[in-house]
Chain A
Amino acid sequence: MKTETLKECINIEHLGFSYDTEEPVLRDVNLYAVKGESIGLIGANGIGKSTLLKLLVGLDLNYSGKLEIVTHPMVKENVNHIREHIGYVFQDSDSQLFMTTVEEDVAFGPLNYGLDKEEVEKRVKYALSKVHLLELRKKQIYKMSGGEKKLASIATILAMHPDIILMDEPSVALDPKNRRVLINILNEMPQMKLIASHDLDFIMDTCERTVLMDDGTIIFDGPTEKIMHDREMLERHGLELPLRFQR
């Protein structure tokens, strides 16, 4: 399966995409990311962040331009293979988690890959301990808090040993404590991460590199430190300075 130890994770050139309407949601997006990077994807609501993430996991293949994940072009024949490398944490944990208990949900992916019992168990343990949910493994999902569900959905992805993790608005609906927990967990994870959010403080705490999107394309791509101080640029694109810089 995963024999290649590649540096290149995401390679997008001139990516364009539109839903049924003519108005494109994405146009001429370029992004190159390598192993170990943590990238924040920021931009106002409805600007196409979620759409970009969905394209990256092959949930829609009607794009134009070039889209490669770990050097494999995103085409129908490659989708299954690519998905072994890339995990997607949905914004809505309630829909991402669909089994009865946490451990069943975490085991779902590994079981589908035909791993044997011991290996599945190992992965469940590994993933749950990474997000500090090992004691809750038997807990029913509907009894869990929003924060726990978010962590559980991250565990379902970690259990599949991805090289790349995509996250859509991970900090939404988390209280300060859970938010802090999540930040620490993300910072401990070695995988390449692409985190879509309009929570700039969260991005500051988790990503060294930030990509700003507006109008379906990338406006800025560079160090997080730099853009987060640029009030003029942020405001021009429908965002505000991170709370910690506001007075």
Chain B
Amino acid sequence: MSKIEKNLREVKKLNELQMRDGILNGLHPVVKLVTTILYILALVSFPKYQVVPCFVMCIYLILLFNLGDLSIWDGIRRMKLILPLVCVVGIFNPFFDHTEITRVGIVITGGMVSMITLMLKGIYAVLASYILIATTSIEDICYALRWFHMPKILVTVILLIDRYFYILGEEAGRIMAAYKLRAPKQNGIHYKAWGPLVGQWLLRSMDRAEVVYESMSLRGFRGEFTYAGRKSFRWVDIAYLVFWCAVFYLLRYTAVLEMLGQMFI
């Protein structure tokens, strides 16, 4: 199976996840979007030395991965392109920040701690986004964006890009397959074939994109998607949002962890 096909399969898998009948899938998209954004905001706002409370923010992820019946490994695998990037962000902190924080055999510097905090923030944010994507279809996300009065042209562009991206992928897969069948011994594509292949790819994708667009406009598409899930908020949605707001607030602004810790000592 070629890389392209693999990636397309991943997209389809994600689609399948979004379509399931889970608790998270059924929540109002606006609530899910807001909670995710609040989570990320709370996360990035942790001071750089507060590694423990920052670490504890993982309860959100753990609960949601379970609640949504999602596999954390799949999440990490699917996000593997971005995860290394967010990990290296803090990599130089240990070299610059030598403030001594504590000694456990060796000296723990502020740089080390802040590196870990930054990495945690990055990884958590990516995984939180993954949870959102894996439980919410692109239509729902766009619906939520429209709910926040994001300009409709922007939202429509997002949706169209999603559609066209898929077409590009499919056409690329087909061309690669056709090429490989006739150049079986070759590893990859000969550089001389790149020009025509890319040309073909773009032309075909454009053709198909045009047909898709024609099909849409023949069915009354006038530049704005009409969203099917014009849902109303239910109590569960509100409760979900309030619950997480409270948790984020407690973790971020109160010494709830210390209090809990003291209770057991």
Binding site for B on A (CB under 8 A): 57, 59, 80, 83-84, 87-88, 90, 92, 94-98, 100-101, 104, 107-109, 111-114, 117, 120, 138, 140, 142, 156, 160
Complex CA distance for A59 and B210, rounded to whole angstroms: 11
Contact present for B218 and A140 (CB under 8 Å): no
Binding site for A on B (CB under 8 A): 12, 15-16, 18-19, 137, 139, 163, 167, 208, 211-212, 214-222, 226-228, 230
Contact present for B211 and A88 (CB under 8 Å): no
Contact present for B218 and A112 (CB under 8 Å): no
Contact present for B216 and A98 (CB under 8 Å): yes
Partner of B219 from the list A100, A104, A108, A120 (CB cut-off 8 Å) is A108
Contact present for A92 and B211 (CB under 8 Å): yes
- Decide yes or no: A96 and B226 within 8 Å by CB, A112-B220, A140-B12 being known contacts: no
Complex CA distance for A114 and B218, rounded to whole angstroms: 15
Shortest distance between the CB of A199 and any CB in chain B (Å) = 21
Shortest distance between the CB of A56 and any CB in chain B (Å) = 11
5 A–B contacts from the bound complex (CB under 8 Å): A83-B218, A90-B214, A98-B216, A100-B137, A113-B220
Partner of A95 from the list B139, B208, B222 (CB cut-off 8 Å) is B208
Considering the complex of A and B, which 3 residue pairs feature the smallest CB-CB distances, nearest first?
A112-B220, A109-B219, A95-B211
Partner of B12 from the list A59, A94, A95, A142 (CB cut-off 8 Å) is A142
Complex CA distance for A96 and B212, rounded to whole angstroms: 6
Task: Kindly list chain A residues whose C-beta atoms are within 8 Å of the C-beta of B220.
Answer: 80, 83-84, 109, 112-113, 160
Complex CA distance for A94 and B208, rounded to whole angstroms: 9
Shortest distance between the CB of A123 and any CB in chain B (Å) = 12
Partner of A90 from the list B12, B211, B217, B226 (CB cut-off 8 Å) is B211
